[in-house]
Structure formats: structure tokens, C-alpha cells
Chain A
Amino acid sequence: MKKLAVVLIACTLFVACDKIEGPIKETLTDLGDVDTTVTLQRALLEEYTGHKCGNCPELGSEKIAELDALFGSKLVTVSVHAGSFATFSPTASKYNYDFTTPTSIALYNKYGVQANPEGCVSRTLSGGKLVLGSGAWATAISAVLTQEPAQRIDIKNTFNEANKQLTVDVTVKYLKAGAADDNLTVYLVEDSIINWQKDYRLTNEDIPNFVHRHVLRGAVTPTFGDPLSTTAPAVGAIIKKSYTYTLKDGYVPKHCSVVAFVNNSGTDNVLQVAEKHIQ
């Protein structure tokens, strides 16, 4: 107690310490109904994870669930499986499923991810860093969401059940002046894939039926995007793009959705993002 007193005196004498005495959680405001006619600024969270990452359920998946509850449709999440925690052996009894894709490996390498779970928020620097630990996601998302939306993105999906062909029509409307090096990137994401996942908190760490959410399945456009225009789009410019993509065997169409975002190929920043189910 005496030591504590000394410390507190030292604290107050020198510089303030913030001892949190009250509740530790912010008071949340009700999100209410989202007005679809208004263009919302959205943030893209690209989570780097792997089925052998035993910290990922706690620090990744549960954190994202918490953020989903907070930000609702303003947050679009893509879980990128690659790296040493995503290795698999098809002949093994556990972890025999390949969650990786060429797109996820390309992203993993480009951003130099070295640990899991980590993530990029709209590929924007936060606190000087691009790849953030999960404790920094909420702050980074809040920062992105305070910006005025630069574009409005509308997605129209047409899915042909017979040949599994998906046609994606994306309309980008510029609400602010754009740049000539703006790209449109479109990914396919599948939700609720049930498979193995490691969780260090459990006595038996291997969970056979973990629900893997918003897993990156592939890129409809090139991995780092398709140029929107050769000239800088003016305010009010509307650019339409159309792509086709064939779903691989095993993908469950009703769980699949398309994530489309505008990213500047110079700064790498994601300016606006939208998501829509394919069915």
C-alpha cells in the first residue's frame, strides 16, 4: 500500500496517469435501421489467419464478432488464409483442407505478414503501420469511418446455378474527384465453412467443426485490381464494370458474397467498399 502511495504521488507529481476506476467499456449507441439511400462510408478489414493458428479464434474471430456488433454493415471483413498457419496435408486426418488461394498468398506476401492474427484496415496506415494486431483494429476502423465517402459502390450479382457462372456488375459513382490510378478490386468470399481450427484455450486444441467466416475464395478482378479509368474521374462520374467468375466445386453459393472496393494503386489505400450476396 505504501509503495502504491509512493507511485501515485510520483505519478501525479510528474505527469498524469489515467487509472480507470469506472466501467471499462464505452457506452454504445444503437445503430438503428440503416438508410440504404444514403451512401455510407465503409471500412474493409482483411484479417490474416490460418486454421493452425491457435490464437486466432480468441484474438481474431471473436474480435471480429465484437466489431460486427459495433459497426454493423459499415464493416466488411475478408479473412485471408495463407502462410505457415494455413499449411495443410490432404492425406492427414486433421487440417487437410486447403483454405489458401493464389490471391491470399499474393496478399500475404505483398504486405509482409509475419504473425497471425493480424489485419489491414482499408489498407490504410494506422499509427504508422499497415498490418495491425487485432487490438488496433477498432481504432483504425473508427478512423476510416470518420471520412466522407469518396464513392458509392453498387453491386449486382447474377448467378447461374447450372454452370455455376457468376456475373458481377459493379457501378462506381464518384462523390469526390478521383485519381487516374484508382482501381476496382472484386473478391469472392464464402461464409460459414465448417472445418478444423486450432484453439489454444481448449484442453483439446483441435476443433473439428469450427465455423470459418468470410473466407477469401479468389479474386474476380486481378488481385490488386482493375483500372477504373485512364483519366481522373470527376465528381459525379459513374463507371460501370462487368466481370464473370466461375465458382469452384464445393463452394456453397448461398454462403458466397462479392466484395468490391475502390483502391488507389499509388497509395494502396482502399477508399470505399461494398458487399453483396450472390443469391
Chain B
Amino acid sequence: MKKIFVCVAFLSIAVVAKAQQDSATKSAPNKPFIQNPPLQLPNFGEIHGNFQFDAQYYRVDSLINAPKVPEKILSNGFLNLTYTKDKFYAGLRYESFLNPLQGYPSGFKGSGVPHRYAGYIADDFEVTVGNFYEQFGSGTIFRAYEEKNLGIDNSLDGLRVRFRPVKGIYLKGFVARQRSFFALGPGIVRGADIDFSVNEIFTKLENSNLRYTFGGGFISKYQPDNDPIYILPENVGAFAGRAGIQYKKVTLSGEYAYKINDPSADNKFIYKEGTAISINAGYATKGLGISVAAKRIDNMSFRSDRAASRTDLTLSFLPAATKQHTYMLPSFYPYATQPNGELGIQGEITYTFKKGSLVGGRYGTTITANYASVWGLDTTQVADQKVGYTAKFLSPGKLYFEDKNIEITKKITSKLKAGYTFMHLVYNKDVVQGVPGFGIVYAYINVLDVSYKLAKNNTVRTELQHMRTKQDMGSWAAGLIEYTIAPKYFIAVLDQFNYGNSESKKQIHYVVAQAGYLKNTLRIAGGYGKQREGIICVGGVCRNVPASNGFTLSITSSF
């Protein structure tokens, strides 16, 4: 305990003071210097950082439903600075949203330093004060993380300690409040987690073929009950236990999570407990990988503010147990976990046909097949708000989502590479987007991706994509041509054409042209064109990104 106090006291000393103190203890030249390269910084530690700036100029386009943006130009930007000196570290992030880009939470409006921290890390012990990110297990009850491209940053602001009493046992605990845009949420969050890596604890098991890990975490949030109508629980706890076993090429892992009564805006203020179970199995040998997973979630939305909605102040991280697609049309209808209840399975196999084999050809061929299906729970509503509903354990309810896809990638000659993807999708738009009345979308998608190396550093790549569907907006075709001159330039033109729209005036080409310059870690890219309305889904919440028409500029750098 004394050690903790020493460390906390130590941390309260400013970065500068620390630098001075250390420089005195070492035999360093006691003179100021700004030299030419290379800069040797024996006394001052290391400062590094990264920077990102995204801006868009918006034009009104009533045809594609691009709304009027009074500011005309919106931008998001940030700069991270990290400082490390031996065992000490500190950092901060300046963020500026003037005003936030369309599709980002409007709460970000403004500028400031919402993220700053300092810490001390020894071999077996670490303490952090200020903002930090953390995750227990797979995050079912707790994950504080950032996802810049989705406008998510639910970091914690408080105090965290990590401790390793012996090799293989990892303890961590924290007390903090959660970031909510440029302020903090109303709840106080406390958590502790322990992780056992059995083969690391017992040295004679170090090289065993059989490997075990297990662990558990507990989270409790406190939020005062000032509601004049309901008696709300002020302290809400959640627990998750996990275990994993690996024997040679086979792995099996599982997690169980439980949450006590947590009436919230998400579950419409019912007092039911929440549960989540997930099981993963895998097989991996050179050239073949198989993974299967099953998951059941029941009333597991967990936030540090019971009234919060969308992506605000989430504690639980419940990612979709489906394949994450990145091509334009396969990612048109993304699935988002329904935290109030779902049942899902997924399987994936990746196989590489060896070089020189019949299918493999001269350079080998890789095939990935994936299947995922998600259903709602089979529930019965109960009038008593304390119960809310009852759900059967393993009986699937309505189909929410199904995805069958196969991807084949092949290097045909030393210059020519090709990839082909086929996907069949069943998408319950009513449930996933929370807009009943649309029904179910059935889609068949084909993607052909071919790249050809024209010269040592010049490559041209094309994508041809097609999505056939009778529902929603009808069929789409899309194409892309990208020309890269490594290591510095790229130019690309892409078009998405909604030729199957039942309204002829909405059969629009969404054309975007982009060009960029790259140098080491600097990337500057500009674009112009029409972006279609799209959906970004996170943790069961989908955010609609409105259509837009205009210029974009993006700069990233790190140093």
C-alpha cells in the first residue's frame, strides 16, 4: 500500500519537475541544447504524437437528400502527445470539432483537452491517473475504448492500478467517471479484474501442450436516484467470468456475464437482470483455420448513465458476432448487436491450397467461407415492470440477420492478383435499424477485385460490385479504379449506382474521386463527390450518416 502512495505522490509532480529531478541524478551534460540531428535526449525522455484532421465542404443536394449545412464547412481534428521517460509516462489529446462532421454526435461540438493522463509503470506494478482505456475479458461488462471513425470515446477519468503479484496473475482495478464528449457522465464506475495464465504461474507447465487461462471481472456503477416516480437502484453491479483452454492446435474459450437489476432507457426501465454467454472454438494449423462461435445476450445493455442512449456512456461492449465487411456493397447492410436480446452463431473456415497444387496453381489460392446467423430471443411479455419479460434459453425467435459468404483470393501471375466474393444476406431492417415497417431485405452480392502491377511501383486495381435485391432501395452496382504509385501517390474514382431504385429520379450515380499524397507517416487526401446515405452500427446502436455532396480533405500524421 505504501508503494501506491509513493507512486501517487510521485505522479503529482509535474512532467517538468520529473525531468529535472532525473537529470540531476544522472551524469548528463547540464546545458540547454537544440542540436542538429540526431537529437539525443538522455535527460528529457521522448515526446511523440499523432495528428488527424478531416474536413468536408457541404453542398445542398435535395435529390440525394443531402441536408443544408449552415456552416458549409465542418471539421474534426485531434492531436495526441505522449511523453515517456523511463518508467514515467504522460500524455494528452487536444480535440476540435468545429462543428462536428455530419453523422458524428453533435455533443462533440467545440474544442478542448478532454483526454490527459500520467502514469508510472514498473515491472510488476502500474498506476495511471487521468484518462485511460481499459477492458475486462472480451468487454461484455466493460470496455472503455475509442473508435475515432465512429465518434466513440468512452474513456474513463480517474485512477487505475495494475498489479502482478506473481508471474501469470494479473490484477487490475479502477475508480473513475466516464467521459461524455467534453464533460463527464453522472455515474461513478468502479471495477476490478483478475486474470490467471496457469502455464505462466507454474514453470513446469511452461512448455506444456495444454494451456489454461481463466479470469473474472466485476463492475459497479453508482448513479444517484433523483427520479420522482421510480425507486431506482443507485448501485448496479455486473460480473463476468471467463475460461480458455488450448491443446496444440485446438482452442476453446467461454465467457458468462451477469448484471443485476438495471432499469434504463435501453430496456424501458424494467428491473430484470441481464445475462450473456459466449463460446468460441478454433482450430489452427498451417494452411487451415476454423473458428466457430455461439452467443446469447439477454438484457445486457450496461451504461454508466441509465438515461443515456445511442453510443453514449457505454460500459458493455457487445460487438456483432458476424463478419466485418469492408467492400462498399457488402457493408451496405451491417448488423448491429441487439443488447436487449439475441441469439447468434458463426462459423468461418480459411484454407490455402498449396503452391503447385491443382487448385493452388503457381502461387497458391486462399478460400474463406463464413456463415453467421442471429435471431431474437423467444420472449413473453410480462405486465409487471419488475420482470419485463421472460425468455426461453435456447429457442430462437425472429430472424434478425443471416450472412453466407465466400471469398477466394488468388495470385495468378507475379503481376496479376484477383479476389472474388459472393455473399447472400438476410437483413431484418425493422429490428437492426429500429424502424419497423420496412420488412426484411434479401440481397445477393458479387464482388470482383483485380489488381495488376504495371511497373515496379505502379499498380492499377479495380473493383466491380453488384448487389441484387428487390427490397429497400433496390439493386446497386458499384465500381472502383485505383492507381497507386508507391510510395507516394494514389488516385481513385468510385461510383455507386442505384439503378434498381423503383423511383426513376432516385436512380443516381454516387461518384467520388479521391487523390492522395503519402510520405512515411504523413497522408494527405482530398476528394470530391456524392456520398450516399449510410449506416454505421456500433454496439446495437445504428447511426445514420446523411448523404452529402462536396469536397473532403483528410490529413493524418504521426511522429
In the bound complex, CA of A6 to CA of B256 (Å)? 12
Cβ–Cβ < 8 Å partners of A138 in chain B: 227-230
- B105 on the A face (CB < 8 A): yes
Instruction: Report whether A109 and B70 are in contact in the complex, using a CB–CB cutoff of 8 Å.
Output: yes
Contact with A along B287-309 (1 / 0, CB 8 A): 00000000000000000011111
Complex Cα distance, B268 from A134, in Å, reads 10
Chain B contributes a number of interface residues (CB within 8 A of A) equal to: 50
Say whether B258 faces chain A, with CB atoms less than 8 Å apart: yes
| Residue B397 at the chain A interface, CB threshold 8 Å | no
CB distance from B340 to the nearest CB of A (A): 13
Q: Which of A160-211 contact B (CB under 8 A)?
A: 198, 200, 205
Asked if A15 lies at the interface with its beta carbon under 8 angstroms from chain B, I say yes
Report which of B260, B269, B308 forms a contact with A19, defined as CB distance below 8 A. Answer: B260
Q: Which of A14, A23, A71 contacts B231 (CB 8 A)?
A: A23
Residues of B within 8 A of A59 (CB): 268
Contact of B226 among A4, A15, A129, A142 (CB under 8 A): A142
Neighbouring A residues of B230 by C-beta, 8 Å? 24-26, 138
Total count of chain A residues near the partner, CB < 8 A: 48
B180 adjacent to chain A (CB < 8 Å): yes
Contact across chains for B435 and A135 when beta carbons are under 8 A apart: no
**Most chain B CB neighbours (cut-off 10 Å) among A14, A24, A70, A198:** A24
The DSSP consensus for interface residues of chain A is: mixed
Give the chain B neighbours of A133 by CB distance below 8 A. 265, 307-309
Q: Provide the residues of chain B in CB contact with A15, threshold 8 Å.
A: 190, 220, 235, 237
B136 contacts partner chain A, Cβ-Cβ < 8 Å = no
The contact of B192 among A14, A25, A109, by CB within 8 Å, is A14
Contacts of A19 in B (CB 8 A): 233, 260-261
Tell me the smallest distance from the CB of A81 to a CB of chain B, in Å.
17
Which residues from chain A contact B261 at a C-beta distance below 8 Å? Answer: 18-20
B500 sits at the interface (CB 8 A)? no
- Please determine whether A17 and B308 come into contact, CB atoms closer than 8 angstroms: no
Contacts of B306 in A (CB 8 A): 135
**Are A18 and B265 also in contact (CB < 8 A) when A112-B109, A133-B309 are?**
no
User: In the bound complex, what is the Cα–Cα distance between A23 and B384 (angstroms)?
Assistant: 11
Q: Is the CB of A26 within 8 A of B228?
A: yes
Within the assembled complex, what's the spacing in Å between the Cα atoms of A19 and B305? 17
Residues from chain B with Cβ under 8 Å of A18 in the complex: 233-236, 260-261
Interface-centre pick from A25, A109, A127, A133 (highest chain B CB count, 10 A): A127
Interface-central residue, B185, B230, B310, B435, by most chain A CB under 10 Å: B230
- B218-251: which have CB < 8 Å to A? 218, 220, 226-237, 239
For residue A236, give the distance in angstroms from its CB to the closest CB of chain B: 32
Q: Does A54 contact B (CB under 8 A)?
A: yes
Q: 0/1 per residue, A110-135, Cβ < 8 Å to B?
A: 00111100000000000111001111
Asked if A24 and B385 sit within 8 Å, CB to CB, the answer is: yes
Given the known inter-chain contacts A3-B258, A20-B233, please indicate yes or no for A114 contacting B106, CB distance below 8 A.
Answer: yes
In the complex, which residues of chain A have a beta carbon less than 8 angstroms from the beta carbon of B226? 139, 142-143
Q: Are A129 and B180 in contact (CB under 8 A)?
A: yes
CA distance A135 to B226 in the complex (A): 11
Least CB distance from B122 to A in Å reads 25
A17 near B237: Cβ-Cβ < 8 Å = yes
Nearest CB on A from B262, distance (A): 10
CB-contact partner of A24 in B70, B236, B271, under 8 A: B271
Q: Which of B33-80 contact A (CB under 8 A)?
A: 70
Chain A proximity mask over B166-188: 1 for CB below 8 Å, otherwise 0: 00000000000000110111100
Q: B186 contacts A127, CB within 8 Å? A: yes
Q: Say yes or no: B231 contacts A11, CB within 8 Å.
A: no
Chain A, range 256-279, C-beta contacts under 8 Å to B: none
Q: Mark A59-91, 1 if CB is under 8 A from B, else 0.
A: 100000011001100000000000000000000
**Bound complex: CA A80 to CA B261 (Å):** 33
By the criterion CB–CB under 8 Å, are A136 and B190 in contact? no
Pick the most buried of B184, B186, B226, B434: most chain A CB atoms within 10 A of its CB: B226
Find out whether the CB atom of B186 lies under 8 angstroms from the CB atom of A14: no
What residue in chain B is nearest A69 (Cβ atoms)? B229
A16 at the interface (CB under 8 A from B): yes
Is A7 positioned at the interface, with any CB of B under 8 Å from its CB?
A: yes
A2 CB to closest chain B CB (Å) equals 12
Chain A minimum-CB-distance residue to B216: A10
Check: A22 CB closer than 8 A to any chain B CB: yes
Closest residue of chain B to A18 (Cβ to Cβ) is B233
> Chain B residues with Cβ under 8 A from A134's Cβ?
265
Distance of A5 Cα from B281 Cα, bound (Å): 28
Please tell me if the beta carbons of A205 and B105 are within 8 angstroms of each other in the complex: no
- What's the nearest-Cβ distance from chain B to residue A143, in Å? 6
Most chain A CB inside 10 Å of its own CB: which residue of B183, B229, B239: B229
Let me know if A3 and B271 touch, CB within 8 A: no
Asked whether B227 lies within 8 Å of A200 as measured between CB atoms, the reply is no
Q: Are B218 and A25 in contact (CB under 8 A)?
A: no
* Residue from A26, A58, A67 having most chain B Cβ neighbours under 10 A: A26
The residue in chain A whose Cβ has the minimal distance to the Cβ of B106 is A112
Task: Give the one of A3, A11, A138, A142 with max B CB within 10 A.
Answer: A11
Query: In the assembled complex, how far is the CB of residue A199 from the closest CB belonging to chain B, in whole angstroms?
Result: 10
Given contacts A15-B190, A17-B260, A24-B386, contact A205 B437 (CB under 8 A): yes
A58 contact set on B, CB distance < 8 A: 268
Note all chain A residues with C-beta closer than 8 A to B180: 128-129
Chain B residues, CB < 8 A from A115: 309-310
How far in angstroms is the closest Cβ of chain A from B416?
A: 46
CA gap between A132 and B307 in the complex, in Å = 8
Alpha-carbon separation in the docked complex, A182 to B106 (Å)? 26
Q: CB of B96 within 8 A of chain A?
A: no
**Judging by beta carbons under 8 Å apart, are A127 and B231 in contact?**
no
Most central of B107, B227, B236, B435 by chain A CB within 10 Å: B227
Interface string of B102-143 (1 = CB under 8 A from A): 000111010000000000000000000000000000000000
Minimum Cβ distance to chain A for residue B532 (Å): 16
- Is A7 touching B185 in the complex (CB atoms < 8 A)? no
Whether A7 contacts B239 by the Cβ 8 Å rule is yes
Task: Tell me the complex Cα distance, A70–B181, Å.
Answer: 32
User: Taking A14-B192, A17-B220 as contacts, is the C-beta distance between A70 and B109 under 8 angstroms?
Assistant: no
Interface string of A147-167 (1 = CB under 8 A from B): 000000000000000000000
Which of these, A24, A26, A129, A136, contacts B107 with CB under 8 Å?
A: A129
Cβ contact within 8 Å between B227 and A139: yes
Residues of B within 8 A of A4 (CB): 258
Whether B29 is near chain A, meaning CB under 8 Å from some CB there, is no
Given contacts A10-B218, A142-B228, 8 further A-B contacts (CB under 8 A): A16-B235, A17-B233, A17-B237, A70-B229, A109-B70, A133-B265, A136-B305, A138-B227
Query: Can you report 10 A-B residue pairs in the complex whose CB atoms are below 8 A from each other?
Result: A3-B258, A10-B218, A16-B220, A22-B231, A54-B436, A58-B268, A59-B268, A114-B310, A128-B184, A138-B230
Q: Which 6 A-B pairs have the closest CB atoms?
A: A112-B106, A136-B307, A127-B186, A18-B233, A135-B265, A17-B237
Interface residues of A (CB under 8 A from B): 3-4, 6-7, 10-11, 14-20, 22-26, 28, 54-55, 58-59, 66-67, 70-71, 109, 112-115, 127-129, 132-136, 138-139, 141-143, 198, 200, 205
Chain B interfacial positions (CB closer than 8 Å to A) = 70, 105-107, 109, 180-181, 183-186, 190, 192, 218, 220, 226-237, 239, 256, 258, 260-261, 263-265, 268-269, 271, 305-310, 385-386, 434-437
